[in-house]
């Protein structure tokens, strides 16, 4: 029976390059250039706005009340928790809400966010969830991986709050719920359909890699 693990193992190389990207390693070791992190934070604000739109699209694509509730709950979490935390976090890094509202969007942000929205528009709810999976499940795995690394001395790390945000119980719960939803849906798909979904997952993972790289290139 197919499950989420079949998606990640079908593109194991890209998945590992995303989870263990140099941006992540340097962040974990506290040696990521601040300029890289600031640029990432700014673009991530734009990213999260489009991701909120993607969950709104998931609400539109829902066929049942349960799916509609799930999509609107995710939309609410992004708008009222993750984005609020993000704006507060940006201000600790000297980036005001006014600065954020005037940001030009980078090509990496444009490519990734519009790709996800396009997957949702041309496909069904499962296509959209699979396109969103590297974002949610990937960050959960990245936070776990960082906490397992010997080099991560969390207390002295300037990025400790960021790591804490993505290793919080709330975030872990959201990751677990998404994994369960995906496992249930994927268990019903044919081999041909699984192949299509692997392509979506691989492309979204490659776009996450580009997003990290955009931050590194800034330095």
What residues make contact with ligand NSP under the rule CB under 6 A? Answer: 44, 47-48, 135, 139, 208, 211
- Residue 207 C-beta: closest distance to ligand NSP, Å: 9
Contact predicate 155/89, CB 8 Å = no
* Cα separation, 129 vs 119, whole angstroms: 9
Instruction: Supply the DSSP string of 137-149, one letter for each residue.
Output: HHHHHHHHHHHH-
Minimum separation from the CB atom of position 183 to ligand NSP (A): 20
**In the complex, minimum distance from the CB of residue 43 to ligand NSP, in angstroms, rounded to a whole number:** 8
Say how far apart CA 65 and CA 46 lie, in whole Å.
29
Residue closer to ligand NSP, measured from CB, 108 or 125? 108
CB under 8 A, 24+ apart: contacts of 189-195: 189/2, 189/126, 194/2, 194/6
From the list 14, 82, 178, 208, the catalytic residue is 208
Task: Find, among 133, 109, 118, the residue nearest to 57 by Cα.
Answer: 118
**Measured from the CB of residue 65, what is the shortest distance to ligand NSP in angstroms?**
25
Pick the closest to residue 113 from 130, 126, 131, 98 (CA basis): 131
Taking the least distance from each CB to ligand NSP, the nearer of 27 and 48 is 48
Q: Say which residue the tokens 């966010």 belong to.
A: 113
Nearest to 113 by CA among 186, 51, 158: 51
11 catalytic per annotation: no
Of residues 14 and 208, the one with the C-beta less far from ligand NSP: 208
**Looking at beta carbons only, is 19 or 125 nearer to ligand NSP?**
19
- Catalytic position from the list 11, 90, 135, 178: 135
Tell me whether residue 176 is one of the annotated catalytic residues.
Answer: no
**What residues are labeled active site?**
135, 208
């Amino acid at each position: 029976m197919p499950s989420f693990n079949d998606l990640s193992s079908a593109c194991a190389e890209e998945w590992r390059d995303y989870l263990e990207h140099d941006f992540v390693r340097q962040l974990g070791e506290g040696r990521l250039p601040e300029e890289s992190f600031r640029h990432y934070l700014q673009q991530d604000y734009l990213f999260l706005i489009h991701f909120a739109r993607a969950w709104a699209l998931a609400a539109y694509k829902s066929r049942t009340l349960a799916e509609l509730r799930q999509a609107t709950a995710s939309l609410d979490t992004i708008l009222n928790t993750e984005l609020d935390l993000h704006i507060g976090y940006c201000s600790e890094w000297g980036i005001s809400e006014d600065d954020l509202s005037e940001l030009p969007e980078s090509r990496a942000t444009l490519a990734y966010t519009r790709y996800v929205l396009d997957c949702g528009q041309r496909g069904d709810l499962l296509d959209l969830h699979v396109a969103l999976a590297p974002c949610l499940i990937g960050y959960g795995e990245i936070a776990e991986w960082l906490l397992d690394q010997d080099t991560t001395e969390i207390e002295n790390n300037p990025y400790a709050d960021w790591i804490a945000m993505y290793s919080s119980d709330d975030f872990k719960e959201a990751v677990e719920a998404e994994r369960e939803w995906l496992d249930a849906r994927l268990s019903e798909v044919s081999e041909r359909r699984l192949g299509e979904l692997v392509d979506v997952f691989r492309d979204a993972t490659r776009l996450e890699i580009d997003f990290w790289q955009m931050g590194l290139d800034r330095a």
